[in-house]
Amino acid sequence: MPRTLLPLGIALTFLLGTAIYAGLALPNGPQSHLLLLGCVAAAYMALNIGANDVANNVGPAVGAKALTMGAALAIAAVFDAAGAFLAGGNVVHTVANELLVPGVGLDSAPLILVMIASLVAAALWINASTFVGAPVSTTHAIIGGIVGAAIAAMGIGAVAWPVIGMIAVSWTLSPALGALFAAGLHAVIRRAMTRREDKVAAARIWVPILVAIMAGVFAVYLAINALSQWWQPGLPGALTVGAAAAAIGWFLAMPWVRMQSLGMTNRKKQVATLFRPPLIVAAALLSFAHGANDVANALGPLAVIIRETQVMPAAELLVPSWSLVLGAAGIALGIALFGPRVIHTVGEQITKLNEIRAFCVASSAALTVLAASAFGLPVSSTHVAVGAVFGVGFFREFLAIRNMTGAAVPLRANLVDAAMLNDRPEDALARERRNERRYLVRRLKLAQIGAAWLVTLPASALLAALLYRVLVAFSG
């Protein structure tokens, strides 16, 4: 089999194995064929979640050359699967229950078809986005699918529009917050460390502090967002855990930084290498939290299908262990088989990243989600992470433009070259400005990603509505 077809063959084998398991191991009943179809649709969705969302967690680390592509895929697959299996059962309720108006009155069979149509539509849209390398919100895709299929089944009154309105707000809120936090953190590091005359001495002070902050933020993030199925410490408990994690991070980082910085040259590139280990840890923790939260985009609709086909009490929304295994395996396979395309986009094709900039992106992603959660605002992890990459890029571009409009020292060599070519220095300055802007942030990628974000929810909704009509026609 050609190498390009091997991932597709493995993915199809996984879907076939899911169908065989559902057909042989799950209870038989009048709607068992719908349960089988729902399991396959959820497995397909899980594959696409892994393929697209992996870039949020490890893309910056790959772009900064802190991780090879193979190592990044391995870390993401292991930690995403662990998060989905160990802590993924607590978040399916929102995706499954809060998008439709209570008491809408959908019968069992139409509700199952709504969920199947939403899974297939969302997965198809994410699949197409991954193929072109566009990072999109898998949460928005499944929400759009449920909304579109529900409208096709019951009309616009079936949808909880205030919830959808909050999601629409997050389209602009998520990337803006991610960009703000990432740019702010980059500015702090630049002022405190990389612009100092003695960068190594400043790094010995500030890198352990930054590692401590990152450890504290991630500990609170995991306690509140990823581990709430096991433990709900409340805000005081989560802050206590965060403070303890920060102290541990500082005590571990301090001697390591001092040892690594011995004999280090006083250059920004050398100092940046001190951020590699915390960046790798951040990628792993982000992957775990992603698996715990976003597996609901596949398992939320499947939980409704399980409930309806097995005639469970309406108040219950069970997440069987086999469905968590299905979601975890699908996400891990999606990462391993199809992850590199979107990783390249986020890590390498938006702006140039090094270890410091990637550290800012990873830390701000967790900080943004925490801040939004504190205010009850829905945000997309994809939008946050990509917004953070753009924030770092535009901040660097702002600094470059400011330097060029001030003292022209950075352009002295280019101006000399311009004089040798009988070109006017002011023309060389303008040309350099244009080149610098293109190099720091790629406008074409900004336009492509923004368009994909705007289209995700309505495209998934329209596709789900069409698929629902097709399923109704075949089932009737």
Asked if 100 and 310 count as a contact pair (C-beta separation under 8 A), the reply is no
- 342 HSE (CA, 13 A, CB side): 32
Average pLDDT over residues 380-385: 85
Amino acid symbol at 261: S
Taking 90 as the threshold, does the pLDDT of residue 254 lie above it? yes
Q: Which long-range contacts (CB under 8 A, 24 or more apart) does 198-204 make?
A: 198/266, 199/266, 199/267, 199/268, 199/271, 200/261, 200/264, 200/265, 200/266, 200/270, 200/271, 203/257, 203/261, 203/271, 203/274, 204/257, 204/258, 204/261
What does the alpha-carbon distance between residue 145 and residue 204 come to, in Å, rounded to a whole number?
50
Note the helical H segments in 92-157: 92-97, 108-131, 138-154
State residue 117 phi and psi, 5-degree precision: -60, -40
Q: How far is CA 27 from CA 21, 23, 306, 308, in A?
A: 11, 8, 10, 13
What does the alpha-carbon distance between residue 67 and residue 283 come to, in Å, rounded to a whole number?
10
19-42, pLDDT tens digit by residue? 998 888 777 777 788 889 999 999
Confidence label for 417 from pLDDT (cuts 50, 70 and 90): very low
pLDDT for position 416: 45
Q: Give the three-class secondary structure for 408.
A: coil
169-207, pLDDT tens digit by residue? 777 888 898 899 999 999 999 999 988 999 999 999 999
Going from N- to C-terminal start, the domains of the chain cover 22-405+441-475
Asked if 15 and 89 count as a contact pair (C-beta separation under 8 A), the reply is no
Listed range (20-29, 321-330, 349-358, 460-469) with the worst mean pLDDT: 20-29
360-379, pLDDT tens digit by residue? 998 888 778 777 766 666 67
pLDDT for position 3: 60
**The two three-digit tokens of residue 430, written as one number:** 């303008």
Taking 60 as the threshold, does the pLDDT of residue 401 lie above it? yes
264-315, pLDDT tens digit by residue? 888 888 999 999 998 998 888 888 878 877 788 888 888 888 888 764 554 4
Per-residue H/E/C for 171-218: HHHHHHHHHHHHHHHHHHHHHHHHCCCCHHHHHHHHHHHHHHHHHHHH
